Amino acid sequence: AQQRYAGLRDKPAVSRDGRRICLQMNAGLMADLPSLEGSGAEGVGLFRTELQFLIRNKMPKRDELAKLYAHVMDAAQDRYVSFRTLDIGSDKVLPYMKPQDEPNPAMGWRAIRVGLDKPGVLRMQAQALIRAANGRPLSIMFPFIAEHAEFVSARAHVLAQIEREAALGRPTPKSIEIGAMLETPSLAFAPQAFFEMADFISIGGNDLKQFFFAADRENERVRRRYDTLNASFLGFIGQIVARCAATSTRLSFCGEDAGRPVEAICLAAMGLDILSMRPASIGPVKSLILRTDLAALRDVIDAECAKGAESVRPAVMDFLAKQPS
Ligand code: PEP
Ligand code: MG
């Protein structure tokens, strides 16, 4: 399949009606990096830093991490990379951390909640990233931000580390952008000040969908119960797009749905301009974008929503089947 899409590798993803969609890849291990070249990804929209913590049997040291992060930035050359700070808890348990006995780990002490309550690791990671950037631009995002105040605190930790490095006479990043993952519905309703403060927002659709429908993403009995192309969910995505547009906040989507062509094309139709996905999905998603009139698809989605359809999928599939190839 990779072969089939090889010819598209260097072609920009421009829809039939002229919308340019930026396709990035998700990564987390050093083994993922060669895919940057092969897939034609325009950068790494989500670097899951916890994978480096999960493959070890003890807490990695700052300098070791700085080397790894520098290696990632070297491999990306001048392409964009956004590093997500440690997202542990819930389904990701570190073997060297005391296990938490929580009745609902997905809604428990996880991700930025751990980072803010025990900021030692967050600070250490920030230092490692700042040192790795060493005069290059740096992009950091925090997982599972549920309210504005959490973003303010997490951001302050990173900015304090930059000041500290500068005070020590060490090089600081050429530029820094700090973003939040939108993975809980609450953040979509945050005050305007949040959208103004965030340099960018990335929708973590896996978690966002889990919490939107209250359906455990790990539970086989319910995880496929609700369609991503459910009219209410797409409408909610549309509201997030509108809030970000009002403050000119860059918005991307990095959950698994960004890598499923039909879901991805609907996200683009809802106004997403940046999609980050597993590298193998870039070819198939790009191929569909090239063939699709996104404005016409949006009309189909809006008409279905207006009719009160539960899922827009049947109408979307019908529309896509009738597209000229
Ligand atoms: C998500 O929730 O969509 C996401 C990208 O993060 P993860 O899958 O690592 O929770
Ligand atoms: Mg998530």
Average pLDDT, the chain: 96
Mean pLDDT of 202-208: 98
**Of 70, 202, 48, nearest in space to 127 by CA:** 70
Range in 2-16, 158-172, 245-259 with the lowest mean pLDDT: 2-16
Higher-pLDDT residue of 68 and 99 is 68
**Residue 2 pLDDT > 80, yes or no?**
no
Ligand 1 in reach of 257 Cβ (< 6 A): no
Q: What is the pLDDT of residue 324?
A: 82
Mean pLDDT of 153-159: 98
309, amino acid identity: A
C-alpha distances in Å from residue 73, one per residue of 23, 76, 80, 116, 151:
18, 5, 9, 26, 25
Tell how far the Cα of 296 is from the centroid of ligand 1, in angstroms. Answer: 30
**Residue 97 pLDDT > 90, yes or no?**
no
Considering the chain, what percentage of its residues have pLDDT values greater than 90? 92
Give the pair of three-digit tokens for residue 280: 């193998």
**Residue 175 pLDDT > 90, yes or no?**
yes
Q: 264 by DSSP, 3-state: which?
A: helix
Mean pLDDT of 297-313: 98
Mean pLDDT of 172-187: 98
Report d(CA 50, CA 142) in Å as an integer.
Answer: 12
First-to-final CA distance of the chain: 18
**Residue 260 pLDDT > 90, yes or no?**
yes
Tell how far the Cα of 254 is from the centroid of ligand 2, in angstroms. Answer: 9
Mean pLDDT of 158-171: 96
Contact yes or no for 54/92 (Cβ under 8 A): yes
Mean pLDDT of 63-92: 94
Range in 98-102, 249-253, 284-288 with the lowest mean pLDDT: 98-102
Q: Report the largest interatomic distance among the alpha carbons of the chain, rounded to a whole angstrom.
A: 62
217-243 pLDDT per residue, tens: 999 999 999 999 999 999 999 999 999
Residue owning tokens 């403060």: 197
Tell how far the Cα of 187 is from the centroid of ligand 2, in angstroms. Answer: 13
Ligand 1 in reach of 254 Cβ (< 6 A): yes
Range in 9-23, 86-100, 308-322 with the lowest mean pLDDT: 86-100
Contact yes or no for 229/237 (Cβ under 8 A): no
**Of 70, 159, 72, nearest in space to 122 by CA:** 159
Instruction: Give the HSE-up count for residue 231: Cα atoms under 13 Å, Cβ half-sphere.
Output: 15
Atom of ligand 1 at shortest range from CA of 87:
9
Q: Which helix (H) or strand (E) covers residue 269, if one does?
A: helix 261-269
**Ligand nearest to the CA of residue 253, numbered in listed order:** 1
**Residue 109 pLDDT > 80, yes or no?**
yes
**Residue 325 pLDDT > 70, yes or no?**
yes
Residue owning tokens 């950068």: 43
Contact yes or no for 162/124 (Cβ under 8 A): no
SS3 annotation, 244-261: HHHCCCEEEECCHHHHCH
DSSP 124-181: HHHHHHHHHHTTS-EEEEEEEE-SHHHHHHHHHHHHHHHHHHHHTT----S-EEEEEE
**Residue 1 pLDDT > 70, yes or no?**
no
Mean pLDDT of 77-90: 93
Using pLDDT thresholds of 50, 70 and 90, give the confidence band for residue 91.
confident
ipTM of the complex, rounded to two decimals: 0.99
44-72 pLDDT per residue, tens: 999 999 999 999 999 999 999 999 999 99
Tell how far the Cα of 35 is from the centroid of ligand 2, in angstroms. Answer: 22
Mean pLDDT of 282-308: 98
